Amino acid sequence: MPVVAVVNRKGGSGKSTLATHLSAYCAHNGIPVMLGDVDKQQSTQAWLRLRSQQAVTNKAPIVGWTVDARSVLRSPPGVTHVILDTPGGLRGFELARVAMFADAIIMPVCNSVFDRESAADCFAELMALPRVASGKCKVAAVGMRLDARTKADETLRDWASKHKIPFIGVLRETQGYVRCVEQGLTLFDLPASKVEADLLQWQPILQWLQPVLHPKPAAPLTRPVATGMSPAPAGNRAASLKPAQVSLLAPDHPEPAPGTPATPPRTAKPQPSAAPARSGSVAGRLGSWLESFSVSRLLQR
């Protein structure tokens, strides 16, 4: 189950706007997606309630988390992707846990010295984590709310280059985003002809996320075939078998030679039972992570 997390320590950077748009993109492309909101403000859940009142035709549903005292996270059947909107101020163990669950992390960055320095510190901490350093969890920055009349785009790209942060696109400041969010909509819900310029800015971002949102199926495992075997002696029935079949014979029960009295087979020693497999459910792991946050009792009711 691919997980994309939107992370920024600084509030007001556009995390919820980015998360809701990515969820709507998935829904319009037939990807059942769960929009997870770990922020105490529950902004994306409020957006989902507004969206339920709109006549939006999606190819797949967008579902949110159900937060209560018994089950912090309930993953509905059929959900294949998770978009995670995280709270501000993530650092240390909590930031490491996000990287542990996510396949990609997007950092929305506004063009101010405070936003840039905060994002640079967060990126440096992420790169110190083994899963990010090894490339299993990709990280990139997106410029948010940029004024097209200024050199904000150039400033952010120079900043990203200086800190060696992958910079995958910019989203300009426009009232289209504000009006959409207030109605539970996104630019992907509007006629493309009306928001063509803004949708073009999403193309490099979606292209970077393509391997995560549409992962290639894993190749089936094949049994290794033994090669380079020496000829079997005459009279041994293994000589007529193919190498792959020979490799399946028990090595401690050879074929007895003609005229040799048969010996009773050795009793195999009982093997210790395997430890119970740990649940691989991403929803379960995300739920345990969410439990580590101080979720208010009001939300648990």
Residue ranges of the domains in the chain?
Answer: 3-216+281-300
What is d(CA 93, CA 181) in angstroms, rounded to the nearest whole number? Answer: 31
- The alpha helices in the chain, defined as continuous H runs, are 15-28, 43-51, 92-101, 113-127, 130-133, 152-162, 175-182, 196-213, 243-246, 282-291, 297-300
Residue range 253-294, pLDDT digits in tens: 445 555 555 555 555 555 544 444 444 455 555 555 555 554
At the top level of CATH, the class of 3-216+281-300 is alpha beta
pLDDT of amino acid 35: 92
Q: What is the mean pLDDT of residues 220-244?
A: 49
pLDDT of amino acid 234: 47
Coil, strand or helix at 294:
coil
What is d(CA 231, CA 238) in angstroms, rounded to the nearest whole number? Answer: 10
Q: What is the mean pLDDT of residues 141-169?
A: 93
Average the pLDDT over each of 44-48, 74-78, 171-175, 180-184 and give the range with the smallest value.
Answer: 74-78
Q: Look at 246 and 191; give whichever has higher pLDDT.
A: 191
Cα angle 293, 296, 300 (rounded to 5 degrees) comes to 100
Q: What is the mean pLDDT of residues 223-247?
A: 45
Whether 69 and 39 have beta carbons less than 8 Å apart is answered as: no
Average pLDDT, the chain: 78
Rounded CA Rg of the chain: 27
Side-chain half-sphere CA neighbours of 210 within 13 A: 8
Cα angle 225, 229, 235 (rounded to 5 degrees) comes to 115
Average the pLDDT over each of 66-70, 95-99, 231-235, 237-241 and give the range with the smallest value.
Answer: 237-241
pLDDT of amino acid 264: 54
The owner of tokens 């110190």 is: 128
Residue range 88-142, pLDDT digits in tens: 888 999 899 889 989 999 999 999 999 999 999 999 999 999 999 999 999 999 9
Q: Look at 251 and 3; give whichever has higher pLDDT.
A: 3
Q: What is the mean pLDDT of residues 182-210?
A: 94
Whether 86 and 119 have beta carbons less than 8 Å apart is answered as: no
Alpha carbon distances (Å) from 238 to 47, 164, 213, 242, 252: 68, 60, 49, 8, 14
Average the pLDDT over each of 17-31, 38-52, 81-95 and give the range with the smallest value.
Answer: 38-52
Q: How far is CA 279 from the centre of its chain?
A: 17
List the one residue out of 52, 154, 43, 90 whose CA is nearest residue 289: 90
The owner of tokens 């090894």 is: 134
Residue range 167-177, pLDDT digits in tens: 999 999 988 89
Q: What is the mean pLDDT of residues 210-234?
A: 67
Report field, pTM of the whole predicted structure over 0.75: no
Q: What is the mean pLDDT of residues 141-170?
A: 94
Residues 6+ apart with CB under 8 A from 264: none
Two structure tokens written together for 149? 């009349």
Q: Look at 71 and 79; give whichever has higher pLDDT.
A: 79
For residue 226, is pLDDT > 50?
A: yes
